Amino acid sequence: MKQNNQVFDNVLDLIGNTPLIRLNKITSKFKGNFFAKVEAFNPGHSSKDRIALHIIEEAERKGILNPGDTIIETTSGNTGFSIAMVSIIKGYDCVLAVSSKSSADKIDMLKTMGAKVYVCPAHVSADDPRSYYQVAKRLHEEIKGSVYINQYFNELNIDAHYHSTGPEIWNQTEGKITHLVACSGTGGTISGTAKYLKEQNPNIKVIGVDAFGSVLKKYHETREFDEKEIYPYRIEGLGKNLIPTATDFDAIDEFIKVTDEESAHTARLIAKTEGLFVGYTSGAAMQAIAQLNEQGEFNENDNVVVIFPDHGSRYMSKVYSDKWMNEQGFFDSVNHETEKTVQY
């Protein structure tokens, strides 16, 4: 059992230094050694704690943020939660403009964490004054002393991972990491971590995980924005319909795409094999590893690190709901014997 007698001053002191956990059963038939960086061990249960704290502390250092000021962002997801948590401890107002597509649970959670939530219509275009982008922009202009986190276009997002996730993985693997596999949404996690790791050893191979329906992989290969790549998909937090400047495409060697269905089954398999209850994109990252293994990417002595970005509890009404899985048709194509609920 882990020993820890340290008393922390507040919850923010627990951000970062997440464990690297060896994967045993799920990778038993794969070539190589596999380790998961489990970001659910952050107090806000995701890697977004790192960027919320880093971006806010950088603004403090630059004198942009002062006690009582307001922090603005446009997400109902992990970043919103992390900003709300940091704001509570540091005494800022947190304003989140979110889409009306966000679940009531998510909105309630953010309100519980002290955030002021503006629910904006989902069906309007990004340049409509009612869209959550425009509402956030307007609030930023109107509220004196406010800071707009803007995670997709804020290079401090990369910086946060360059200064924390990268060095942690390097030290935890004692420099023996050969591959990094990480999901790309804003791209901050993979870009910052890759940049640090490649400075230590340029031979480390960095593989980004993208969704079918997202433009990132194609953009990486051609440096052209191809609208034809875009269509709806279910995994939240992975891939994008625009090119974020928080992604350093030169730091990534290749992208691999994964499907909603295989990622969902793989997320459930991580829980059943490793006892790790992690989010949908962790399933996507693990699915990418299975595909890479199939392609012969790994050798026996390779040390592959995969980032699991968040906790499974945020997906109870989605990937961890049998009802939802059935509604998506995800139980139809394969006989998932272990997925069936035993009735007494």
Which active-site residues does the annotation give?
48
**What's the first-to-final CA gap in the chain, in angstroms?**
35
- Report which of 297, 278, 299 is spatially closest to residue 289, judged by C-alpha positions: 297
Give start and end residues of each alpha helix (H) in 3-131: 48-61, 78-90, 104-112
258 touches ligand PMP (CB under 6 A): no
Residues 141-180 as x/- pattern, contact with ligand PMP by CB under 6 A: ----------------------------------------
Q: How far apart are CA 203 and CA 282, in angstroms?
A: 25
For ligand PMP, the closer of residues 140 and 311 by Cβ is 311
Interaction residues for ligand PMP, span 25-84 (CB under 6 A): 77-78
Which residue in 80, 237, 239, 283 binds ligand PMP (CB under 6 A)? Answer: 237
Which residue in 113, 238, 252, 264 binds ligand PMP (CB under 6 A)? Answer: 238
b/e per residue, 218-236, with b = 16+ CB within 10 A? bbbeeeeeeeebbeebbbb
For ligand PMP, the closer of residues 146 and 157 by Cβ is 157
Q: Could you tell me how far CA 172 lies from the centroid of its own chain? A: 20
For ligand PMP, the closer of residues 187 and 213 by Cβ is 187
Q: Could you tell me how far CA 267 lies from the centroid of its own chain? A: 14
For ligand PMP, the closer of residues 23 and 160 by Cβ is 160
Interaction residues for ligand PMP, span 279-318 (CB under 6 A): 279, 281, 309-310
> In the bound complex, what is the minimum distance in angstroms from residue 113's beta carbon to ligand PMP?
16
For ligand PMP, the closer of residues 69 and 310 by Cβ is 310
DSSP labels, 308-324:
E-BBGGGGTTTTT-HHH
244 three-class SS:
coil
Question: Shortest Cβ contact with ligand PMP: which residue?
Answer: 237
Residues 180-209 as x/- pattern, contact with ligand PMP by CB under 6 A: ---xxxxxxxx-------------------
- Stated as kind and residue range, the H or E segment containing 219 is helix 216-222
Q: Which residues bind ligand PMP (CB under 6 A)?
A: 77-78, 183-190, 237-238, 279, 281, 309-310
